[in-house]
Amino acid sequence: MGMPKEYNAVQDMVDRNVTRGLGGKVAFVDPDRTLTYSELQVATNQMANVLKELQIGREARVAMLMFDTVDYPVAFWGAIRAGVIPVCLNTLLTQTQYEYILTDSRVEALFVAAPLLEQVAPLFDRLEFLRHIIVVGGDGSKYHSYQALLNGAGKRFETVVTCADETAFWLYSSGSTGDPKGVRHVHTSPMYVAENYAKNILGIQPDDICFAAAKLFFAYGLGAGMAIPMSVGATAILLPDRPTPASVLGVLNRFNPTLFFGVPTLYAAMLADPDCLPENSSDKLRLCISAGEGLPKEIGLTWRDRMGVDVLDGIGSTEMLHVFLSNRPGDIRYGTSGREIPGYKLRLIDDDGQDVGDDELGELLVSGGSAGDGYWNQRAKSRATFAGEWTHTGDKYTRDSDGYYYYHGRTDDMFKVAGRWVSPFEVEQALIAHPSVFEAAVVAHEDAEGLIKPKAFVVLNAGADQAGLFDSLKEHVKNSVGIWKYPRWVEVVEELPKTATGKIQRFKLRET
């Protein structure tokens, strides 16, 4: 994709849609409001003026601790229009984690949803760079009111001339393996995702209606809920609440999206809900998409058979912004992450950095134009992850002779039993296929002799009988994936520890 040296992402994502006659088309819908592309253009001009009036200059950073409402794209794209860098924050973190990120990013302003103000207000006096607090969805109290600032701002703004390779926004990694890292993304990345994944794989069209249960602060959600629909002037539905089976079905039924983006844990939870039926969903749904973690084959097939719509499983990352490996319509192999997609190159390497052959386990490396520009103030980790044109994903895969990729887990999660690799994900898939098991996580655990063996944590389906469960699960795994892979211990738990984006935090289970 050729780009001029001078390029601001807001030109393609907002202005171009107005220029080509889509100004009156609805860009965003939340449960209470709608925003057309023309209204979005004006509002982002106003937001850029707000930042100018607050003396937040070019390349300064502002944090967004906001729910998914129509205010979100206004603040995000308004900042980008002004050459200011929005930093998207997870709304479900602890106060300690917020202090870490707000200190690390040195933001000068914080946009914060009114219900979250109490969580972060005690930190303000300790944040030396923070100068402005802007409260969204409330009167602001002693702080700035988002709506009052916007209402008082001018409606014209000359978009800042930025470089195509300039940092446009930051996303923090989900922290599934420790402290989050600030990933810097450049102006061309959103459109690169749209041109390669959205158009080639999803066939995105202006009349599509996108609904991402994944939140906008999450790379997958930002692409699905903003970059992908905005790239062609389509409509996005926003859900400010935490996605539950009931709330997601409510949105599907009310707004009739054509594309639904979920994560594996949500698909599993929805399938466990008796109301998850085609008549309670969207009657215009043409595709469902899954990313964030590998989609177990059982879940994908069950969803397709019950809902009558395929789920395209793929993999992306915060570092790569969105999906770079995917199944595609008419070419789906459930239980795989699909094949390489246009615009991206993939490699599998061994521990010595050498390419591995078909059906051999290796770490997945990806090359593509949506790669981040490195981690903020973490040089060693940047050099290890962003190695020239190749980005290390930290995911273990095998590839078959047809070019389909099979996920085996995170590099840090893999372990050997009797000298042979065990994929936690593979064992988890086998456990989930058992009629008593709703969710499962598998980690390495030492036995009495100090040898490493699999240990499973399972969440059971409602009404499941625990009598003889261990022996039943052990035999089920042996018969499904291999005699040495069965869990030597099975612990029944109420829930599994997860990040706010639905990824299982296996490192927490290893500590138990």
Residues in the chain: 512
Structural tokens at position 183: 């990933």
322 and 210 both lie in a single domain: yes
What is the predicted pLDDT for the residue at 265? 86
Structural tokens at position 341: 């997609």
Among 410, 431, 466, give the residue marking a domain's end.
Answer: 410
* Cα 264 to Cα 254: distance, rounded to the nearest angstrom: 23
CATH code: domain of residue 138? 3.40.50.980
What DSSP letter does each residue of 141-201 carry, written as one string?
A: TTSEEHHHHHHTS-S-------BTTSEEEEEE---TTSS--EEEEETTHHHHHIIIIIIII
78 and 177 both lie in a single domain: yes
pLDDT band at 61 (very low <50, low <70, confident <90, very high): very high
Cα-Cα-Cα-Cα dihedral sign, residues 13, 14, 17, 22: positive
pLDDT band at 303 (very low <50, low <70, confident <90, very high): very high
361 and 500 both lie in a single domain: no
In the chain, the number of structural domains is: 3
Q: What is the DSSP letter of 243?
A: P
Q: Confirm whether 148 is domain-assigned.
A: yes
pLDDT band at 501 (very low <50, low <70, confident <90, very high): low
Domain range enclosing 99: 9-187
Q: Confirm whether 178 is domain-assigned.
A: yes
Among 187, 221, 253, give the residue marking a domain's end.
Answer: 187
What is the predicted pLDDT for the residue at 11? 97
158 and 23 both lie in a single domain: yes
Structural tokens at position 307: 């809902």
Q: Rg for the chain (alpha carbons), in Å?
A: 23
361 and 463 both lie in a single domain: no
Burial class of residue 125 in the structure, from the number of CB atoms within 10 Å of its CB (0-12 exposed, 13-18 middle, 19+ buried): exposed
Q: Confirm whether 4 is domain-assigned.
A: no
371 and 332 both lie in a single domain: yes
CATH code: domain of residue 502? 3.30.300.30
Residue from 121, 269, 294, 291 nearest 223 by CA: 291
288 and 390 both lie in a single domain: yes
Q: Hey, how many other C-beta atoms are within 10 angstroms of the C-beta on 475?
A: 12
Provide, rounded to the nearest whole percent, the portion of the chain with pLDDT above 90: 81
* Cα 323 to Cα 314: distance, rounded to the nearest angstrom: 6
What is the predicted pLDDT for the residue at 177? 52
Give how far Cα 252 sits from Cα of 99, 217, 242, 256, 280, Å: 36, 21, 15, 5, 8
Residue 479: alpha-carbon gap to chain centroid: 34
381 and 431 both lie in a single domain: no
pLDDT tens, 193-208?
999 999 999 999 999 9
Question: Would you give the end-to-end CA distance of the chain in angstroms?
Answer: 48
313 and 452 both lie in a single domain: no
Among 187, 220, 253, give the residue marking a domain's end.
Answer: 187
Q: Confirm whether 1 is domain-assigned.
A: no
CATH code: domain of residue 395? 3.40.50.12780
Q: Average pLDDT over the chain, rounded to whole?
A: 93
| Residue 404 amino acid letter | Y
* Cα 180 to Cα 218: distance, rounded to the nearest angstrom: 12
381 and 425 both lie in a single domain: no
122 and 134 both lie in a single domain: yes
